[in-house]
A and B are shown apart, each in its own frame.
Chain A
């Protein structure tokens, strides 16, 4: 019928309410009808990245306590979601992280010190996005999601096979910009996977006050997208599901929402007061489902790693932490003149005048 809306699009399957799980909390394999765990080598790599990530989180939190970072939003407990998602990317793909995703960035290859530049207060973003294929860490919620859609759109036009992973929180899904990005991605069929780390809290607000959707992955259906629920503390499952979603998206199957069910063990940031809004028992419950312990148990059970290898991972983590500490120890002198460059392509006359004014102020003229 030419003059009616033909409604020819296939209805995406409803996401299963049961999250995909491939490894249970005791480190035993969990059978799943559609997904299989990655190879042992990849499992080991996931674990190593989580060990480094956790150590990085601790070090950054310490630096924040010491006042050497202005703030740090820890992702302790969420390592499986971040690492599992990032390691599913190819070397051409882009990452679009939010403020809590430092571990994802380090895993993606961003220099750990450059990752912390924002929180240290040296600059708003410390790295060259093109060098790492990593967009600037984003503070306003959900606003970088549409950038990923635009970037993959442009890449496809230029004939390049580039997908993107957008990391966002459960709270961020309530923002209008999340909706617009989901919708654009689906209509334009760009290869973007929106990985929602549902860590149960948006600062002090629980998920059920955020959304009435059965799961956040169910939102995908209304956009004509595929949605997946995954155990966000199971790095194998996150990796398998994100990899699958990316592959489908590359093949023209459209973008996807993946909801990873996880938990923020630490406070929202170092200045948060979580005892005001959540029970210690709840934290305890989730601590028992720790993503690192679970992966370690699996790898030991299946003799993929032994004490020796695990020690090496610990040492790798320690190396990253030491390097971060040492490289951040010195008080780098920042050049106030740099405030005026990179506002516009060229410094406009009125700003040049302010630059000279500040220089004179500094000379004490």
Chain B
């Protein structure tokens, strides 16, 4: 996936002279995850460069650049280091179009490597999507596959809305046979990654792969699980997800972030509103514990894995019997 993102940046910079890439260590080093590798040597300092180490300044200057016709793609080195820029994202980036009644558009992409599972120490593993998705005016997207990583990043750079592009860092090393450049479905559409009839698993970013593994494992036990990959978290694509849940009648939302007040709560609430009469069980959420992100040696207990997902699927069956029993 890291290579696909890198290729997307190369292609975007090559095609559009207004695209600039900058951030901390993104130049000659190529970023701490090497996602910007080779950009400076290929296109020069003008197009990809190291900025001072200051997240708010990075996003703030990107806003000014976009006001004057550039398309900045900036990197926040790790999820939890983007918080100093939060004010710029929430008060300015997300609102400039609205404040100016469309006179100023900000085609800025903020790339954020996010999530855990790589044994990182404190501040290197947060899942911060709920902070961003709660902010109207932002598009928040996260690819679950290398093909999507390429296609969605190209689209994010081309679109005139500001995009928080969350990169599931533990999937940087995921491999997939794919011929780049590739264009997948438009990023605002959720896609069914694996069709099934019994339960819908709703996942995104790093959890797509885990959900697919869970579905495979369940298949050997005779359960046919559908997996939907949300892709763009905000604005939300109700139609695709609701259609899937109406087919299967059962849903589990899966994410790495803490469950309380998390993104899954939004999805579950919407599904309850829109699919109530089709549901054979309550919509369940599977996610991280409601704790600060744990130290690396304990993170496996926080992060939802195949077992926790399958346990939820089991509970759904039980819940449905319980509901039937009450009738």
What residues of chain A have their CB less than 8 Å away from a CB belonging to chain B?
Answer: 123-125, 128-131, 135-136, 140, 143-155, 157-158, 162, 176-177, 180-181, 183-184, 187-188, 338, 341-345, 348-351
Contacts and interface: CB of A to CB of B under 8 A. Distances in A.
A319 to B, nearest CB: 27
B54 A151 contact: no
Given A146-B63, A146-B64, A124 B92 contact: no
B136 interface: yes
B67 A184 contact: no
A151 B72 CA distance: 12
Nearest to B91: A140
9 contacts: A131-B103, A143-B60, A149-B57, A150-B62, A152-B64, A157-B70, A181-B57, A187-B52, A345-B97
A143 B64 contact: no
For B67, B188, B237, the residue with the greatest tally of chain A CB atoms inside 10 Å of its CB is B67
A contacts with B: majority SS: helix
Interface residues of B, number: 48
Nearest to B62: A150
Contact of B57 (A135, A180, A341, A343): A180
Contacts of B20: 157
A191 to B, nearest CB: 13
Interface in B56-86: 56-57, 59-70, 72, 84
**Sorted from nearest, which 10 A-B pairs have the closest CB atoms?**
A150-B64, A146-B60, A180-B57, A150-B61, A348-B235, A154-B68, A147-B64, A151-B64, A124-B99, A150-B65
Contacts of A350: 235-236, 238
A131 B102 CA distance: 13
Contacts, number: 140
Given A157-B70, A342-B101, A348-B188, 18 more contacts: A123-B101, A124-B95, A129-B104, A131-B103, A143-B60, A146-B60, A146-B63, A147-B67, A150-B60, A150-B68, A153-B61, A154-B66, A154-B68, A177-B88, A181-B57, A183-B57, A344-B139, A345-B161
Contact of B99 (A130, A136, A153): A136
Given A125-B100, A184-B52, A342-B98, A146 B69 contact: no
A7 B63 CA distance: 31
A189 to B, nearest CB: 13
A187 to B, nearest CB: 5
Given A140-B87, A344-B139, A350-B235, A129 B67 contact: yes
Contact of B69 (A154, A184, A338): A154
Given A150-B61, A150-B62, A130 B104 contact: yes
Contact of B64 (A125, A148, A183, A345): A148
Contact of B60 (A124, A136, A177, A188): A177
A341 B103 CA distance: 12
Contacts of B66: 150, 154
B159 interface: yes
B159 A143 contact: no
Interface in B233-266: 235-239
A207 B64 CA distance: 29
A148 B65 CA distance: 9
A72 B251 CA distance: 52
Given A157-B70, A180-B54, A124 B98 contact: yes
Given A157-B46, A183-B54, A147 B61 contact: yes
B51 interface: yes
Contacts of B92: 140, 143-144, 147
B299 interface: no
B216 interface: no
B105 interface: yes
A12 B247 CA distance: 70
